[in-house]
Amino acid sequence: MPDRSGQGLHVAIIMDGNGRWATRRGLPRVVGHRAGLGAARRIVERADEIGIRCLTLYAFSSDNWRRPASEVAGIFWLLRAFLRMETVRLRERGARLKAIGRRDRLPAATLRAIEMAENATVGGRGLHLRVAIDYSSRDAIARAANGLLLRNPPLSPDLLLPTMSQALTAEDGDVDLLIRTGGEMRLSDFLLWESAYAELVFTERMWPEFAAGDLDSALEEFARRERRFGGATSKVEMVP
């Protein structure tokens, strides 16, 4: 039976399909986002159970500011609710939470909720849960590159790539498995640098319906793949 253990992996998830899930049921889109919180809780719990080292959830992209103001306000209200509810659970599990993305444009109440959750879980040594809020991978890469360009003296070409990688991945490392729900097959400006050699799994399942078993299935698919990182296959090929 394929291995469904996530031991030591960095798993990233684009949590897509909340709005469409609600619309298909004749419900307001914000109801889908609320249902998505339940899925997030299920997956965080399962990730902790099976030993995933780092779980990065794409909660709000920089492009999502283009959505109607009422939907954006609802998303941030739900994010604050999620942070309040999950902080105690994360501390009990020994998990640590960190938000990635820009903070200068966030509502003050959301920023306070993020900082409180981060401070309350800073000592966690188990699952590292990262929540991407107002996040753009292109923006993160540009900011990291700008910081390196301003160094005096400048970095040598040999040091530029590893230093850039360290600035973007820190202790979390590259993504091993990236999952996108909702049926779309694109990365949508999410962890582009970190996912250079990630295995990608796309599912038609809408995020509110995504369950622990779906995460297990994605891990089984991951275990079946051979990761070569640009090298040759380890399998012996018979030449006729």
Cα–Cα distance for residue pair 12/71, rounded to 1 Å? 24
The tokens of 14 are what? 């684009």
Pairing, β 54-61 against β 128-135: parallel
What amino acid is encoded at 212 in this protein?
A
Alpha helices in the chain (DSSP H): 18-23, 29-49, 69-93, 108-121, 137-149, 157-169, 212-224
Give the angle 203-205-211 at the CA atoms, nearest 5°.
Answer: 105
Is 214 in the active site? no
User: Is-catalytic flag, 16?
Assistant: yes
* Among 16, 48, 172, 214, the one annotated catalytic: 16
Catalytic residue among 3, 48, 63, 64: 64
Phi, psi torsion values for 197, nearest 5 degrees: -120, 20
Task: Give the span between the Cα atoms of 170 and 174, in whole angstroms.
Answer: 9
- Give catalytic residues, as residue numbers: 16, 64
